């Protein structure tokens, strides 16, 4: 990590408490810079992309912290479903104190002009989760796994943002159900593939019928 990277993290983290009141943008960034002992010019220089760059930087920071925490856990002894659940929980739990900032960030990412950025950040997060879980697939499963996890993470994130249960217990129950559901998809597809393999080839049957 470079000196600029460390400085960006410092100012960004100082700005987060201001986001629920000032939104993602220059106001929160300036307040964060002052709180961290820096001037607004330094903050603007480090975040030339404004609010969108701040949100992207926070997502990358959260991914990095998630991976650092997962490395401290003994994931190797866990089943794959438990590794995925752990990754999603860590990613959300680390932002619990900044839940309103996350909510505001998602509102901005939902704007049409930010659709590409939203997709990029979501992919980066679920890709990091799968790598942490030990995924080494390189075939079509690589993409299907990330697509399925993107759905799990996105729906769990939205549930978490509105969860008022103690210690987010309702969110973790929701996450367990969603992971259990999506892990059935590859098995269903595999069974469907085996069934299709046993069915007659319609083109072969058509050729046979025409020749008789």
pLDDT value at position 145?
Answer: 87
pLDDT value at position 185?
Answer: 55
Tens digit of each residue's pLDDT (9 = 90 or more) over 46-99: 999 999 999 999 999 999 999 999 999 999 999 989 999 999 999 999 999 999
**CA dist., res. 178 & res. 150, Å (int):** 11
pLDDT value at position 36?
Answer: 95
What are the backbone dihedrals phi and psi of residue 78, each rounded to the nearest 5 degrees, phi first? -90, 155
Q: Which residues contact 150 (CB under 8 A, 6 or more apart)?
A: 122, 123, 126
Mean pLDDT of 30-51: 94
What are the backbone dihedrals phi and psi of residue 19, each rounded to the nearest 5 degrees, phi first? -60, -40
Would you say residue 121 has pLDDT above 60? yes
Please give the full DSSP string across 37-67, using - where no structure is assigned.
T--HHHHHHH-TTHHHHHHHHHHHHHHHHHH
Would you say residue 211 has pLDDT above 60? no
Cβ neighbours around 16 below 10 Å, total: 20
**CA dist., res. 39 & res. 82, Å (int):** 44
What are the backbone dihedrals phi and psi of residue 180, each rounded to the nearest 5 degrees, phi first? -60, -40
Q: Could you give the dihedral angle defined by the CA atoms of residues 141, 144, 146 and 148, in that order, rounded to the nearest 10 degrees?
A: -130
More confident residue, 45 or 138: 45
Mean pLDDT of 27-33: 96
Q: What is the pTM of this model?
A: 0.84
Cβ neighbours around 195 below 10 Å, total: 9
Tens digit of each residue's pLDDT (9 = 90 or more) over 149-207: 999 999 999 999 999 999 999 999 999 999 988 877 555 444 444 443 454 444 444 44
Spatial contact of 153 and 125, defined as CB atoms under 8 Å apart = yes
Does 1.10.357.10 match the CATH number of domain 49-211? yes
Gyration radius (Cα) of the chain, Å? 22
pLDDT value at position 1?
Answer: 76
pLDDT value at position 129?
Answer: 95
pLDDT value at position 210?
Answer: 47
Spatial contact of 30 and 46, defined as CB atoms under 8 Å apart = no
**CA dist., res. 73 & res. 85, Å (int):** 13
Would you say residue 25 has pLDDT above 80? yes
């Amino acid at each position: 990590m470079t000196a600029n990277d460390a400085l960006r993290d410092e100012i960004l983290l100082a700005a987060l408490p201001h986001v629920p009141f000032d939104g993602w943008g220059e106001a929160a960034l300036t307040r964060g810079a002052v709180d961290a002992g820096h001037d607004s010019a330094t903050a603007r220089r480090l975040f030339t992309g404004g609010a969108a760059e701040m949100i992207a930087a926070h997502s990358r920071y959260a991914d990095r912290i998630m991976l650092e925490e997962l490395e401290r856990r003994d994931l190797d002894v866990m089943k794959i479903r438990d590794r995925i659940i752990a990754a999603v929980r860590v990613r959300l739990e680390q932002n619990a104190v900044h839940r309103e900032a996350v909510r505001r960030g998602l509102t901005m990412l939902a704007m049409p002009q930010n659709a590409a950025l939203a997709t990029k950040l979501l992919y980066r997060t679920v890709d990091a989760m799968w790598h942490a879980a030990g995924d080494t697939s390189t075939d079509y499963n690589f993409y299907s796994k990330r697509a399925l996890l993107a759905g799990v993470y996105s729906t769990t994130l939205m549930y978490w943002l509105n969860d008022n249960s103690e210690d987010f217990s309702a969110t973790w129950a929701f996450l367990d159900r969603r992971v259990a559901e999506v892990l059935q998809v590859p098995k269903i597809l595999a069974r469907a593939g085996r069934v299709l393999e046993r069915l007659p080839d319609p083109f072969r049957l058509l050729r046979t019928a025409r020749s008789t």
